[in-house]
Structure 1
Amino acid sequence: MGIRRKTTIIYIILILSFLTSFLSYSNSIYLSGINQIEVNYAIDNLMRAENVLENQITNLDKTCKDWAYWDDTYNFIQNRNRDYISSNLIPDTMKNLNLNFMILIDSRGNIVHKMAFDSQNNIEMDIPFEFNDYLSKNVNDLISLVNEKEVRGLLFLDDKPMIISVNPILKSTSEGPSRGILIMGRYLSESEISKISDTLQIPIYINGIGEESEEKISFESENYILAQKVLNDINGKPAVIINVKTPRDIFRAGKKQIYFSQLSIILIGVFFILASLFLMDKLVLSRITKMRKEVTQLTTNESSNRRIELSGSDEISNLANDINDMLQKIEDSEKELEKRERTLQGILSAAPVGINLLQNRIWVWSNKGMEEITGYKIEELLGKSPRFLYESDEEYERVGQILYKRQRDNDIVEVETKFLTKNGTTKDVYIRNSPLDPNDYSKGYITVVLDITLRKKTQKQLDENLAYFAHLVDHIRNPLAIISGFAQVEIEDNALKERIMRQIERIEDTIKQLDKGWIDTEDTKKFLKKYSR
């Protein structure tokens, strides 16, 4: 077997072994890293779902406290005033508060009034048997428990999850003694859970505890990761299990990227084999063959002046070393150059902005980002003036004045304008301009274009929301001042007057909190305006 064939086989075996080992190892490492990222993402989604559910429980508890800590409710438990029922315990109240049931119980455990409401059909209904049964068994414990801690959370009755809040009935000043408890609850129906799913943009399911229910995170398929967690009820016992399905977008994107990366490595490996074999044959093997022939000729001629030695530091060894050194330097330089070119090309292609080189406002070069902003192919832009992207000659000239006439004062200038895209739509853009050579403007300018359409729309919506918010607060405060003046002048009953004024003060405190929130929003708005670029 000749040296050329031996060299070829050795190179192929070494490169294939390297590629096989590298691809196997890198695939395992990459997928492991991607899976860990997916698990963390699934855990985050599960926590987000828990937080939304906890917020619903908190809001229900706030509503329950508002009704439980109210003089009207406090008096009703004692005097059974029918006006309280006709004015407050009506279907519209249940609908507005998004409740399915409300139960008032006195301190001895007797039900004073109860009401259930079917929110899907907007009709009253009977308290479900399962809840009545639960209440009859636990009412005394609930009365005792609310005086020790907050009672709110989940229940799972009749294969239906619900959220519930229990609060002691006290005066409006939150003082006692307690005259009983107020219970409010709402079923977590499929529509309610669907709303949570729509809010978080991920599928969510809430089921009862089964024999195989356990907390886990599992890769159900290449499409979803399932995250499960057991949630306790108001008694601290396992009640429901929340399931969150997280789409495996990261896995699919990562797998695709791994495939293209490995394919690139294989192609590079094949190229390296062919290039190495070619160079070895061209620069080394063919020379050795040629020198062997010369040696043969020298032997045949029986010359006494032999200048080739078979061992040691001979001319062949020195030449081979020189060639190897030269090839190594060339190869290192080529790899470094290719690396720099790939890095620069990758940065320019992946940049989410338009990057252009213009000379005398004529396109010389552009990247893919400009295609995405304007809709025009790079070939349609090169060699042309950007005039057709502007709405008018005046706007084109205005932008030119800013970008090019002011250039002598600042190396970098910027301006906002609008571009007409290929499909006829208009986009808001931010342009940043810098000369390629500050000492010679004739060499052209590097122009960076950023699409700011979404930021503009967001800013406009924020302005409108703030204006409406301030207008709404004023409309609440003006009628409230009139009511306050009327109560002080026209109402002679001091107890009633004091009660009305106390409620007015509570509303005014709420308005002050709204004002504070509005001011905070204004500060946020200023911050966004300052740092939105």
Structure 2
Amino acid sequence: MNLRQKTLLLTTVPLLGFLVLVYASLSVILQRSYHRLEQEDAQRNVQRVEEAVISDLNHLHSLTEDWAAWDDTYQFMRDGNAAYVTSNFQKYAFESLRMNVLVLVNTEGEVIYSNAYDLEKGEFAPVPPGILAQLEADSPLLRFPHVAYHHQGLMRADDHLMLTVVEPILRSDATGPPRGAMLMGRYLNQAVVADLSRRTQVSLTVHPKVDSLDNQGDSRFLNADLQDLLEPMMAEIATRRAANRVQIPTLGRVPSPTRLYVQDRHLIKGYALWPDIYGQPQALLDVTLPRDIYRQGQLSQRSLGLALLGACIISTGAILLLLDRVILRRVVYLSQEVQQIGRSNDLTQRVAVQGQDELSQLSQRVNDMLGELQVSAEKLQEEQQRAETLLLNILPEPIADELMKTQASVPQHFDEVSILFADIVGFTQLSSRFSPIRLVEMLNDIFSSFDALAEQFGLEKIKTIGDAYMVAAGLPTPRPDHAEAMAEMALAMQQVVAAFDLGEDDPISIRIGINTGVVVAGVIGTKKFIYDLWGDAVNVASRMESSGEPGLIQVTAATYECLKDRYHLESRGTIPIKGRGEMETYWLRGRQPNVSPPSLQATPVPGVSVNT
């Protein structure tokens, strides 16, 4: 086992053990958190179903209260007027009120009116005997001395479970004495349960019968696990009933006892034990919910595991990388760096110095030796740099690079180049008024400004001949805007000369000529290199300058065609040109109105050939 393998083992094992511990701890925390969230969510869904039932019960109570506190009902309990029944207790009344049972009983427990209606079949039926038995004179539901007392909740009616409201029959102003009680009921059947499921968006079942634990409940739906859940819920109802004898803990008055039961990894069940109208355990609400939160917790746990595994891999890799760089590679790097410096003969290079140990001291000694050798080498380098800088000031950079690499330069053919010649008007007269030194200083100031303009516009200065200045656009790198760049150069040269102050009364001026055409450019000879242009286009550009007028810019027809869309050019007409005969020329006056300065960049010209 080599050193790197040992390092991998020593770093990976402790880190992996630590991450396993972290994963186990966080998994427990996540499981508990998601379990609590799942329990709370299931509890809220059970409560929502119960609240929906209570809402229906309250609505039924509102209807019963309106009918019981009505003078017509109050009078009917005395005289038994048949017209009252005919006008109020027809099918439409039961259907519109969604009412299944209606019973009116007097204070002696005598039934004055009773009827039941099957909403699904749309027909009347007898009132279940179990309901009438609960309305006898000694029934706890008929507490007539308490005028404002009413009962509401679940009632067992034979095989039916019913939402029931019992109200005392009073006058419309809610005064007594009461003449009896009115019972309205709505069966909690499958249709009502389905409607509850639709309204609450949960899957639910209402088990209508819950016997005592001694009888082991209803074996059709109560298994051993449910019995274990049911026992504490029934005990809670009994405790509430014993603690509050005045107000019976019926549905809607106090929250019903609830319990949750995890059925499997996909479903969780919520149960609520509903007391009846007498406060006794009556019905069991069974709500089935998908375990979405549990699945999200499992997903989070897996994501955590993957994240920690990724962190382990990244951390181990980072540690190994750092150890390898700090310790293992130092000796190898030192050897490789010394060999590289020896092969390259580059005395500016230094070996890396890291730390304060013996390896760093050795590296420092190597660097000291290289530094001593560099001092002498830099002097030679400086001289070489001066020579290269001087060459770049004489020749374009591509030509200079070619000469330095091959010791020769092949002339190049350019299909489209703009050439500018300019000279100072009256230079001979100036020579007679100024000393040679002052004259040369003046030319240097002017031409230095021209040089700055050429660099700004990306042009190539060719040469100066006495008071003449020559510059070209479109070489050695072709560009599509060579004519516009040269026009901007010429206009800027006029501004430079106009602003030049000689301290004399008469300002100086220049003549400028521009032509566009084909040239050959390159360096010839082996001594005193100069980058020059040849071709008829060069001669014509020189003639444009010599035949021009002071302070003006004269261009040929070829240049005119390139500039006419963006610049204001004035036709001079046809003039004789030495060696060319009659030529049509133009004066360049400036940019056209509302034309912004062009964005000038030296870029290659697509489709323009540069032949060597």
Q: TM-score range by the shorter chain?
A: 0.5 to 0.7
Once the two structures are TM-superposed, the CA of residue 60 in structure 1 deviates from its matched residue by 0.5
**Mapping 1:268-287, distance limit 5 Å:** 268-287=311-330
User: Residue 288 and residue 29 in structure 1: after superposition, are their counterparts in 2 closer, same or farther (change >3 A)?
Assistant: farther
Once the two structures are TM-superposed, the CA of residue 259 in structure 1 deviates from its matched residue by 1.7
> C-alpha distance in 2, partners of 1:206/1:170?
35
Once the two structures are TM-superposed, the CA of residue 75 in structure 1 deviates from its matched residue by 0.9
| 1:372-406 alpha-carbon deviations (Å, 9 max, x no partner) | xxxxxxxxxxxxxxxxxxxxxxxxxxxxxxxxxxx
Once the two structures are TM-superposed, the CA of residue 272 in structure 1 deviates from its matched residue by 2.6
| 1:296-352 alpha-carbon deviations (Å, 9 max, x no partner) | xxxxxxxxxxxxxxxx97435999xxxxxxxxxxxxxxxxxxxxxxxxxxxxxxxxx
> C-alpha distance in 2, partners of 1:247/1:318?
70
> C-alpha distance in 2, partners of 1:53/1:6?
70
CA contact (8 A) 1:162 1:187 kept: yes
| 1:71-118 alpha-carbon deviations (Å, 9 max, x no partner) | 111111111111111111222211111111100111111001100001
Counterpart in the other structure of 1:203:
203
Counterpart in the other structure of 1:156:
156
Counterpart in the other structure of 2:118:
118
Counterpart in the other structure of 1:173:
173
Q: Which amino acid aligns with 2:52?
A: V
CA contact (8 A) 1:146 1:167 kept: no
Q: Which moved more, 1:42-51 or 1:187-196?
A: 42-51
SS at match of 1:228: strand
| 1:8 is aligned to 2:8 | yes
Counterpart in the other structure of 2:24:
24
Counterpart in the other structure of 2:301:
258
User: Residue 276 and residue 91 in structure 1: after superposition, are their counterparts in 2 closer, same or farther (change >3 A)?
Assistant: same
SS at match of 1:142: coil
CA contact (8 A) 2:105 2:113 kept: yes
Q: Which moved more, 1:236-245 or 1:28-37?
A: 236-245
CA contact (8 A) 1:169 1:178 kept: yes
For structure 1, which runs of at least 5 residues remain unmatched after alignment? 293-311, 320-533
Counterpart in the other structure of 1:53:
53
Identity rate, percent: 27
* Largest Rg, 1 or 2: 2
User: Residue 81 and residue 318 in structure 1: after superposition, are their counterparts in 2 closer, same or farther (change >3 A)?
Assistant: farther
| 1:356-376 alpha-carbon deviations (Å, 9 max, x no partner) | xxxxxxxxxxxxxxxxxxxxx
Once the two structures are TM-superposed, the CA of residue 233 in structure 1 deviates from its matched residue by 1.6
Q: Which moved more, 1:69-78 or 1:149-158?
A: 149-158
> C-alpha distance in 2, partners of 1:61/1:263?
57
User: Residue 36 and residue 165 in structure 1: after superposition, are their counterparts in 2 closer, same or farther (change >3 A)?
Assistant: same
SS at match of 1:20: helix
User: Residue 146 and residue 39 in structure 1: after superposition, are their counterparts in 2 closer, same or farther (change >3 A)?
Assistant: farther
> C-alpha distance in 2, partners of 1:61/1:28?
49
> C-alpha distance in 2, partners of 1:112/1:15?
85
| 1:232 is aligned to 2:239 | no
> C-alpha distance in 2, partners of 1:138/1:226?
40
| 1:97 is aligned to 2:83 | no
User: Residue 246 and residue 236 in structure 1: after superposition, are their counterparts in 2 closer, same or farther (change >3 A)?
Assistant: same
> C-alpha distance in 2, partners of 1:63/1:146?
20
Among 242, 245, 256, the alignment partner of 2:288 is 245
Q: Which amino acid aligns with 1:155?
A: M
> C-alpha distance in 1, partners of 2:138/2:107?
13
CA contact (8 A) 1:103 1:115 kept: yes
> C-alpha distance in 1, partners of 2:328/2:202?
63
Q: Over aligned residue pairs, what C-alpha RMSD do you find?
A: 2.9
Once the two structures are TM-superposed, the CA of residue 198 in structure 1 deviates from its matched residue by 1.0
> C-alpha distance in 2, partners of 1:317/1:162?
93
SS at match of 1:135: coil
Q: Which amino acid aligns with 1:217?
A: L
How many residues were matched structurally?
302
CA contact (8 A) 2:117 2:123 kept: yes
Q: Which amino acid aligns with 2:8?
A: T
> C-alpha distance in 2, partners of 1:199/1:69?
31
CA contact (8 A) 2:150 2:166 kept: yes
Larger helix percent: 1
User: Residue 148 and residue 88 in structure 1: after superposition, are their counterparts in 2 closer, same or farther (change >3 A)?
Assistant: closer
SS at match of 1:147: coil
CA contact (8 A) 1:146 1:166 kept: no
SS at match of 1:209: coil
> C-alpha distance in 2, partners of 1:145/1:4?
96
> C-alpha distance in 2, partners of 1:219/1:145?
48
| 1:216-247 alpha-carbon deviations (Å, 9 max, x no partner) | 11222222322222222221222222222333
> C-alpha distance in 1, partners of 2:158/2:37?
38
> C-alpha distance in 1, partners of 2:4/2:135?
92
CA contact (8 A) 2:105 2:135 kept: no
Q: Which amino acid aligns with 1:15?
A: L
> C-alpha distance in 2, partners of 1:221/1:228?
16
CA contact (8 A) 2:109 2:137 kept: no
> C-alpha distance in 1, partners of 2:306/2:100?
59
For structure 2, which runs of at least 5 residues remain unmatched after alignment? 214-226, 234-257, 336-354, 363-612
Q: Which amino acid aligns with 1:253?
A: Q
Counterpart in the other structure of 1:354:
none
CA contact (8 A) 2:128 2:157 kept: no
TM-score norm. by structure 1 comes to 0.52
SS at match of 1:28: helix
SS at match of 2:268: strand
| 1:443-494 alpha-carbon deviations (Å, 9 max, x no partner) | xxxxxxxxxxxxxxxxxxxxxxxxxxxxxxxxxxxxxxxxxxxxxxxxxxxx
> C-alpha distance in 1, partners of 2:361/2:106?
106
> C-alpha distance in 1, partners of 2:171/2:361?
103
Once the two structures are TM-superposed, the CA of residue 157 in structure 1 deviates from its matched residue by 3.6
Q: Which amino acid aligns with 2:287?
A: V
User: Residue 77 and residue 317 in structure 1: after superposition, are their counterparts in 2 closer, same or farther (change >3 A)?
Assistant: farther
**Mapping 1:36-51, distance limit 5 Å:** 36-51=36-51
| 1:256-288 alpha-carbon deviations (Å, 9 max, x no partner) | 233233213212322332343244234312336
User: Residue 27 and residue 281 in structure 1: after superposition, are their counterparts in 2 closer, same or farther (change >3 A)?
Assistant: same
> C-alpha distance in 2, partners of 1:254/1:188?
37
User: Residue 202 and residue 216 in structure 1: after superposition, are their counterparts in 2 closer, same or farther (change >3 A)?
Assistant: same
> C-alpha distance in 1, partners of 2:112/2:184?
14
> C-alpha distance in 1, partners of 2:271/2:145?
30
CA contact (8 A) 2:170 2:177 kept: yes
> C-alpha distance in 2, partners of 1:290/1:197?
75
SS at match of 1:60: helix
